[in-house]
Chains A and B, each alone.
Chain A
Amino acid sequence: MSPTLAVIVRLVAVLGLMLTNGVVMIYLLRKVLGHLHIRLGPMHVGWHGLLQTVNDVLKLLTKEDLTPRAVDKVLFFLAPVVVFVPSLMAYLALPFSEALRATRLETGMLFTFAVLAIVPIGILMAGWASANKWSLLGGMRAAAMQIAYEVPLLLSVLPIVMIAGTMELGAVVDAQAGTWFGLVPRWFITDPLLWPTFLIFLISSLIEVNQTPFDMSEGESEIVAGFASEYSAMKFALMFLSEFSNTFVVSAMGVTLFFGGWLLPWAPDSWYEAVPALAPIVFLTKAYVGVVLLWWIRGTFPRVRIDQMMSLGWKRLIPAALAMILITGVVQKLLAPVLYRAVG
């Protein structure tokens, strides 16, 4: 395969996955939230409302694209680009299986978090350019949240880098192969040392993707639609496609870092060789279970206040994440050699 063709295959595959994710996840969100509220969610377009999102996408495509009079025109058009492009790029390092991934970036973990960190800049741009006080408030909140939670998010995954000794996501999955005592899968989530780490990661990543209880930048019950108030038609659709897609990416990162990626518990390697589709299916299933769990949180918790959220980030999560790095360091260097000898 020539390099050009290989690049095009990757582009089409990733874009296809992203759009499919968007359509499936919006439907799933409405169903999950519906059932959490003890109602049915979409039911009318197609069987159990299956075609509802397709319908909505077509509707958005043919909506009038309003540009309010007072907006900053350049930034108003640039913002959807700055929001969308990073969330497309965030798929690049995800390991769907040993072979199936867009790239094998040595810095995969850092790369994914780095591109996701660009999204709030786009949201701030959108909020600023809209020339609307609600939008500006939403944009500023997005920036403040990003500022408070980027650091704990990056710090929280450091213990995993220390244990796995790599930032390449496929290698992180490989480091989770096998079992403890021949019984418990050696996924990082089964290591009690990493439980606080997982909690910090979970909270920070919820904020990273603007999910309720941390959706202050959108907060439709207080600031209309926040940064998206003035957006319509395709620009609006792309920004929300990117939000849903980021939720998937964050869930996939959680699966990769803590839940063994494409690995099934106790499955021998020969299974993955016999059925090449097994690994990606396992990975996607796990990622979607993660997404549904995020939405369970979304449907259950009330929105927190912005000052509470800021102090949680700076005064609790950052010190906790720093402490976890030191504890992991001490355990790895001093206790682990003894433990490994005991376990064999």
Chain B
Amino acid sequence: MQSPAFDHLVVGAFLLFGVVFVAVTVFASNLLSPKGKDEPNRLEPYECGVEPVGPPWVQFRVGYYVYALLFVVFDIETVFLYPWAVSFNKMGLFVLTEMTIFIAILAAGLAYAWKEGALRWR
């Protein structure tokens, strides 16, 4: 029963089942739960009892997107490191020097972003 194909089947089944489970429980709780009377402020957003002022979707600093860009770069490069780490024991000194260069480039990128102030939270 243990084969990669079966494992992937299990992963797919869990994905589907999870969605169905959430749908069923939310539906069941809607059937079971009481429905409150419709009062004027019942469906207002909860902002500590004060009536909301202005639109809820306020603007955010552009700084968030700089972090997001950095994240994408580093996350992808991290994923590149995994296959290297798996085969690390099987290969000679060559992989170590190679990866030292790769990590040095990564570190240089981080240092540059740091110097340019991209890592400062304002």
Contact = CB atoms under 8 A, between A and B. Distances in A.
Interface string B7-48: 101110111011101110110111011111000001111111
B22 A84 contact: yes
A151 B78 contact: yes
Interface string A33-58: 00000000000000000000000000
Interface in B64-121: 64, 67-68, 70-71, 74-75, 78-79, 81-82, 85-90, 93, 96, 99-100, 103, 106-107, 110, 114, 119, 121
A14 B14 contact: yes
A143 B60 CA distance: 12
Contacts of A62: 29, 32-34
B33 A165 contact: no
B33 A64 contact: yes
B21 A15 contact: yes
B75 A6 contact: no
B96 A234 contact: no
Contacts of A319: 107, 110
Contacts of A229: 46
Nearest to B1: A6
A230 B47 CA distance: 10
Nearest to B4: A106
B1 A224 contact: no
Central interface residue in A102, A133, A229, A315, by most chain B CB within 10 Å? A133
A68 B43 contact: yes
A326 B56 contact: no
A11 B89 CA distance: 36
A11 B13 contact: yes
Contacts of B32: 61-62
A167 B82 contact: yes
Contacts of A158: 78, 81-82, 85
A190 interface: no
Contact of A85 (B18, B58, B81, B82): B18
Contacts of B58: 133, 136
B35 A64 contact: yes
A147 B64 CA distance: 10
A130 B45 contact: yes
A69 B48 CA distance: 17
A105 B103 contact: no
Contacts of B89: 162-163, 165, 332
Given A319-B107, A330-B96, A165 B119 contact: no
B7 A105 contact: yes
14 contacts: A64-B35, A65-B29, A66-B36, A92-B11, A103-B11, A106-B4, A133-B58, A140-B60, A143-B68, A154-B75, A155-B78, A163-B89, A325-B85, A326-B99
Interface of A: 1, 3, 6-7, 10-11, 14-15, 60-70, 77, 80-81, 84-85, 88-89, 92, 102-106, 110, 128, 130-134, 136, 140, 143-144, 147-148, 150-151, 154-155, 158, 161-163, 165-167, 224, 229-230, 233-235, 238, 306-307, 310-311, 314-315, 318-319, 322, 325-326, 329-330, 332-333
Given A68-B44, A162-B88, A233-B29, 10 more contacts: A11-B13, A68-B46, A69-B43, A70-B44, A89-B11, A89-B14, A144-B64, A230-B45, A233-B33, A325-B103
* A-B complex: 9 closest residue pairs judged by Cβ atoms: A85-B18, A234-B29, A307-B121, A161-B85, A103-B7, A69-B43, A147-B71, A131-B56, A132-B45
